[in-house]
């Protein structure tokens, strides 16, 4: 039996799109291309959801996707902003 998994990523300014195909199953995941510094969230359900959309770069935690959109407010950095390419988060 020849098992093959194919994974494709399309990282753009406005969104990240992930596609996989394995054993006849296709999966798609899309999330906004937004990142912001992580903050402490006191509301239990929101904190649990944010755990799935948190990444650490060095010792600094960042939210991405929908969590970054909701928690970051005006500080959320999107690839759609003019200066994004020169930002700290773009370097990673």
- Write the pLDDT tens digit of every residue in 30-85: 888 888 889 999 999 989 989 999 999 999 999 988 898 888 776 565 555 566 56
SS3 call for 74: helix
**Global pTM value:** 0.63
Neighbours of 67 (CB within 10 A): 26
């Amino acid at each position: 039996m020849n098992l093959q998994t194919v994974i494709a990523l399309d990282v753009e300014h406005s969104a990240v799109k992930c596609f996989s195909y394995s054993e006849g199953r296709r999966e798609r995941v899309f999330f906004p291309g937004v990142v912001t510094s992580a903050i402490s969230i006191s509301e239990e359900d929101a904190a649990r959801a944010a755990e799935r959309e948190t990444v650490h770069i060095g010792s600094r935690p960042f939210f991405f996707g929908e969590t970054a959109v909701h928690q970051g407010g005006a500080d959320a950095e999107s690839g759609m902003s003019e200066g994004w390419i020169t930002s700290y988060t773009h370097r990673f």
